[in-house]
Amino acid sequence: MSETTDLSISNLTVKFGGLTALDDVFLDVAPNTIVGLIGPNGAGKTTIFNSISGLVTPTSGEISIHGKKMKWPASHQLAEFGISRTLQGVGLFSGLSVVENVMMGANITSGSNFLKDLFGASGKAEAKLRRRALDALAWAGALDMAEKMPGDLTYPQTKRVSIARALISQPKILLLDEPAAGLGQDDIDKFAALLKQLKQRCAIIIVEHHVDFIGAISDQVYVLNFGKVISSGTFDHVKRDPAVLAAYLGTSTQTGSEKLGGGHA
């Protein structure tokens, strides 16, 4: 809750009927840092994002944004609160160019009237939106793809474009849910470099199953299991935490350590 956090969550509990998806979860995100969220399938990672972005109504809990205690944001308020997310599995529109797809992100994230902006009376508004889209593409390392059609992109390039689409609203906090899924090691390394640059611009909360990748990029890591934060701190700290090793691979500490990248430390 301090003024030095971009986002602070405490006591977040989410119940779906009889299922407690999140139980008393806390999370602090300092400006210009990357916070990694890891944990087994069904641990509640996406539900944290859904709570922050208005897709799920928390049963209880508090959220502070830029040091100010707020109501949980509705999805149409995200841009106003400086929050943006990539949506898992939401592809690009094949009939629009890359830059137009990114311009579309302004609509998705802010609720503004995109079609009016893009095709309406104001050519000025379109030019402004296009400049913002090009800026977002540059930050995502995808400026040279601006005039291409989505069908001409490689899979790693589409990942960059979807980041650009989230950046067009100029967020202070960017939520990325499994952005590296399906990438090969080379592209994961390039993606890690991109995110480290991007944190100069905004704080990033990232959910990923690639634990080594999370370790390489994160300033802080939170580990969830069965809806609870079972460990938090630097990656070096959490990867040695017995609670984390047990959660990942039963009680086999040595194998768990290897799974969490400890074997290479």
d(CA 107, CA 71): 23
DSSP string, 76-135: GGTTTTTEEEPPTT----TTS-HHHHHHHHHHHHH---HHHHHHSS-HHHHHHHHHHHHH
> Beta strand pairing status for 220-225 and 228-233?
antiparallel
- Give the shortest CB-181-to-ligand ATP separation in angstroms: 10
Closest CA to 247 of 225, 216, 222: 225
How far apart are CB 239 and Mg ion at their closest, in Å? 21
CA 6 remoteness from chain centre: 14
CB 160, CB 141: distance < 8 Å:
yes
21 binds, among Mg ion, ligand ATP, none (CB under 5 to 8 A by kind): ligand ATP
Contacts (Cβ under 8 Å, ≥6 apart) of 241: 223, 230, 231
| Residue 42 binding result from Mg ion, ligand ATP, none, given CB thresholds of 5 to 8 Å by partner type | ligand ATP
C-alpha distances in Å from residue 261, one per residue of 18, 132, 189, 254: 35, 39, 15, 11
150 SS3 class = helix
Q: Which is nearer to ligand ATP, 45 or 159 (CB)?
A: 45
2 touches, from ligand ATP, Mg ion, none (C-beta below 5 to 8 Å by class)? none
Q: List the interface residues with ligand ATP, window 46-65 (CB under 6 A).
A: 46-47
Which one, 45 or 165, has the nearer CB to ligand ATP? 45
Q: Is 182 in the site for ligand ATP (CB under 6 A)?
A: no
In the complex, the residues that contact Mg ion under the rule CB under 5 A are 45-46
Least distance from C-beta 21 to ligand ATP, angstroms?
3
Cβ proximity to ligand ATP, 178 vs 258, nearer residue = 178
User: In angstroms, what is the minimal distance from the CB of 144 to Mg ion?
Assistant: 32
| Min separation Cβ 130 and Mg ion, Å | 33
- Per-residue x/- track, 7-46, ligand ATP (CB under 6 A): ---------x--x-x-----------------x-xxxxxx
CB of 179 to ligand ATP, least distance (A): 13
Q: Which is closer to ligand ATP, CB of 63 or CB of 102? A: 63
Interface residues with ligand ATP (CB under 6 A) are 16, 19, 21, 39, 41-47
